[in-house]
Structure 1
Amino acid sequence: MSDQAIIKTGGKQYRVAVGEKLRIEKLPTEVGGAVEFDEVLLVGAGEKARVGTPLVEGAKVSGVVKAHGRGKKLIVYKFRRRKNYRRKNGHRQPYTEVEITGISA
C-alpha cells in the first residue's frame, strides 16, 4: 500500500490519497458502486515514488462513488461591440464524488 498517487480520469489529473474525497467528471456508476482507476501516473512520495512512462505498470487506485451532482452555475456571456450581438448562457457541469479506498502498486 502506498500513501499517494496521481491518476488520470476525465481528461484531467488528480493527486489522491486514501480516505480523500474528490469530484471528478461524471461516471456511469451508481451511488455506492466501486470504481477502479487504471491510469496511474505516479505512486508513492519522496524517495519511494515510482513514476510511470507514461503509466505505472500494475498500479490501481480503487474508490467508492459517494454522490452525483451538478456544480455551481457558470454564466457564459458573449458580446460583440457595435454589432447588437449578445448571448447569455448558463452551464452546470455534472460531477461524481468519489472516496478513495485503496492504492495498490
Structure 2
Amino acid sequence: MFAVVKIAGQQFKVQQGQNLYVPHLSGKAGDTVEFSDVLLANSGDAISVGADVKVKVKAEIVKEVQGDKVIAFKMKRRKGFRKKHGHRTLYTQIKVTDIA
C-alpha cells in the first residue's frame, strides 16, 4: 500500500516503514505527526484519488538535519561590489509508521 501526501507544498510518495527527508516540521525527535492532506491512496488493486481519499498517514520524527551549504554570490565587475551569503536549509527526517 502506498499514498501520495502533500507536505509543506511538496508531494511525496510514501509507504509504510519508509524513511524520508521533508522540509522542516515543528516538533522534537520521537514526536508523532499526522498528514491528512492525502492526494492518492492505493491499497491492493483499489486506487482512490482526490475527495474520495479517506486515508491519513502517521509518521514519527526521527531527527532534524541540515542540507548542503548553498552560496549566493553577487558581484559587479569593475565596481568593487561583492556580496556573499550562504545558508543551509533545515530538513526533518521522518519514518512512516501507518497508512490508515
Aligned residue in 2 for 1:34: 32
Q: Percent identity?
A: 36
Match of 1:64 in 2: 60
Distance in 2 (CA, whole Å) between partners of 1:84 and 1:50 is: 59
Task: Call closer, same or farther: CA 1:81–1:49 in 2, change over 3 Å.
Answer: farther
Q: Among 82, 85, 91, which residue is 1:86 paired with?
A: 82
- Tell me, yes or no, if structure 1 residue 77 matches structure 2 residue 73: yes
RMSD: 1.9
Q: More strand by proportion, 1 or 2?
A: 2
Change (3 A) 1:76 1:48: same
- Distance in 1 between residues matched to 2:45 and 2:74, nearest whole Å: 49
Q: CA deviation at 1:90?
A: 0.7
The answer to whether the 8 A contact 2:39-2:53 is kept is: no
Q: Is 2:23 aligned against 1:25?
A: yes
What is the match of residue 96 of structure 1? Answer: 92
| Cα distance in 2 between the residues matched to 1:100 and 1:66 | 10
Give the structure-1-normalised TM-score: 0.83
Name the CA shift for 1:85/1:8 in 2 (closer, same or farther; >3 Å).
same
Structure 2 residue aligned with 1:8, among 6, 9, 16? 6
Query: What stretches of structure 2 of length at least 5 have no aligned partner?
Result: none
